[in-house]
């Protein structure tokens, strides 16, 4: 433990230097005055944080590092923030920012040491009766609800009691997504998901072939372990709502086309009778023949429209009835279309 502590003390000096170098390089690349001003402010916050950390003023150091990170996000700053929180005795925040450091840095040289520290902090946090979960989405800034209670926008870290929980992700322009996950008492969990864009419900898109969509759900114990977890993706109500809405939309489109075709058949039949009446009144052979041809063509068109209208109406009726039948079956699965997440959880009969 003493060796690990010594390694961490020296690591913070190293990452501070690396961060300062990276910021200087970024300023050189941009060369813009506004960007240079932001960089200078970030470096000043960084220097203030280093001074406050060295003097043992950890709340002040945390604020300075966070201000620098808002201006110029950096893995090194995540490490420094975590270290300051750890010195302050805030286990949950220290755990969060060490995990964020590994998420940002990918495969840093000190990954093993940081992962070991994450394990230790997770055990300490577990003794308080809660464990930490991070929620990330693509795209970011999606609303996150855990057990039907809003907890913020992704990415967000939450402390929850161990056990089974349900998370809902909501983002404008994307389908809602839900999944259940099991949280252990001694390991933090990462949950990430790729949201599916909302399907356009226009007549053109409803008639076009459905395009395949994909959702990626990942749940890992923490960044150092990247192992498969017990979290299982649900049959999201958004997916079933999408399928039912598409079926229902196609049904109503077909019904509308059927009604339009039948209406057209009636109109053409009226015109045919009018042509027939005009033909009977014609005394010239040429005009009489022309009127008969027009009458025959209208009769054929009326029959075609009537036949097509009947087919469209029949198909539309079948599709609508099928969609309504699926809606009626959903409550048996516990995932009714407009149910609240907590109610769904109470009545779901499937296994996860």
Cα 217 to the chain's mean position, in Å?
Answer: 10
**pLDDT tens, position by position, for the chain (352 residues)?**
444 444 544 454 445 444 554 555 554 555 568 899 999 999 999 999 999 999 999 999 999 999 999 999 999 999 999 999 999 999 999 999 999 999 999 999 999 999 999 999 999 999 999 999 999 999 999 999 999 999 999 999 999 999 999 999 999 999 999 999 999 999 999 999 999 999 754 444 555 554 444 344 556 665 444 333 334 444 444 555 566 677 777 767 877 877 787 787 778 778 777 766 766 665 555 555 666 667 677 778 778 777 877 787 787 777 767 767 665 444 443 333 333 333 333 333 333 3
What contacts 24+ positions apart, CB below 8 Å, involve 324-330? 324/248, 326/240, 326/243, 326/244, 326/247, 327/244, 330/240
Output phi, psi for 201, to 5 deg.
-110, 45
Residues 6+ apart with CB under 8 A from 206: 246, 249, 250, 253
DSSP letters for 4-39: HHHHHHHHHHHHHHHHHHHHHHHHHHH--HHHHHHH
3-state secondary structure of 145: strand
- Cα–Cα distance measured from residue 325 to residue 52, given in angstroms and rounded to the nearest whole number: 66
């Amino acid at each position: 433990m003493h060796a690990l502590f010594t390694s961490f003390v020296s690591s913070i000096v190293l990452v501070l230097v690396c961060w300062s170098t990276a910021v200087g390089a970024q300023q050189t690349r941009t060369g813009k005055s506004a960007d240079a001003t932001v960089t200078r402010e970030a470096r000043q916050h960084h220097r203030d944080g280093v001074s406050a950390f060295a003097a043992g003023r950890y709340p002040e150091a945390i604020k300075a590092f966070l201000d620098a990170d808002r201006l110029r996000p950096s893995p090194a700053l995540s490490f420094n923030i975590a270290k300051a929180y750890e010195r302050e005795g805030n286990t949950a925040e220290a755990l969060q920012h060490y995990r964020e450091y590994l998420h940002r840095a990918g495969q840093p040289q000190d990954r093993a040491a940081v992962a070991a520290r994450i394990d230790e902090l997770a055990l300490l946090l577990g003794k308080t009766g809660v464990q930490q979960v991070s929620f990330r989405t693509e795209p970011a800034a999606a609303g996150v609800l855990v057990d039907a209670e809003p907890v913020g926008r992704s990415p967000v870290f939450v402390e929850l009691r161990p056990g089974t929980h349900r998370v809902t992700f909501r983002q404008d322009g994307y389908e809602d997504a839900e999944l259940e996950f099991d949280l252990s008492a001694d390991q933090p969990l990462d949950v990430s998901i790729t949201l599916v864009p909302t399907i356009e419900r226009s007549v053109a898109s409803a008639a076009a072939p459905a395009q395949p969509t994909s959702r990626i759900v990942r749940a890992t114990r923490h960044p150092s372990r990247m192992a498969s977890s017990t979290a299982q993706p649900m049959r999201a109500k958004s997916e079933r709502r999408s399928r039912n809405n598409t079926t229902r939309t196609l049904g109503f489109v077909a019904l509308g086309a059927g009604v339009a075709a039948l209406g057209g058949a009636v109109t053409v039949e009226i015109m045919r009778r009018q042509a027939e009446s005009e033909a009977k009144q014609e005394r010239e052979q040429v005009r009489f023949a022309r009127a008969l041809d027009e009458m025959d063509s209208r009769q054929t068109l009326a029959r075609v429209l009537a036949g097509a209208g009947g087919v469209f109406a029949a198909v539309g009726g079948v599709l609508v009835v099928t969609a309504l039948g699926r809606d009626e079956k959903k409550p048996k699965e516990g995932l009714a279309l407009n149910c609240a997440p907590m109610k769904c959880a109470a009545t779901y009969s499937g296994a996860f």
